[in-house]
Amino acid sequence: MKTSTVKETKKATKVEYQGLCSTCKNAKDCVFPRSVEHPIMHCDEFVGYEGPRTKAIPRIAKPSSKEEVEFKGLCRNCENRHHCVFPKPAGGVWHCDEYR
């Protein structure tokens, strides 16, 4: 009669921490107490990986209508904006006694 032997092999379970520990270079050798349920949000020993560098500069979308470019601040929706004689600075008018 043949007997079979069962060999148990234990796989190493890798614990995946959240928070700063998930991107820290020192996470493998860290000696500070951690918990999977409570992610670390601040650590003096944190050394992160550098992200991808890009040369693309985010651009601000241009206004869709010409009116938005001409008038800023209160003038943008004032009833008198088309025949107003007061100066309009580049940053817009934010206080006006004639605003309607």
8 found inside a domain: no
Same domain, 99 and 69: yes
Q: Is the pLDDT of residue 4 over 70?
A: no
Determine the pLDDT at residue 26. Answer: 87
Higher pLDDT, 61 or 88: 88
pTM for this model (two decimals) = 0.36
Determine the pLDDT at residue 67. Answer: 46
Q: Is the pLDDT of residue 58 over 80?
A: no
Question: Which residue range forms the structural domain that includes residue 100?
Answer: 60-100
- Give the burial class of 56: count Cβ atoms within 10 A of its Cβ; 0-12 exposed, 13-18 middle, 19 or more buried: exposed
Same domain, 38 and 67: no
Q: Would you place residue 9 in the very low, low, confident or very high pLDDT band (cuts 50, 70, 90)?
A: low
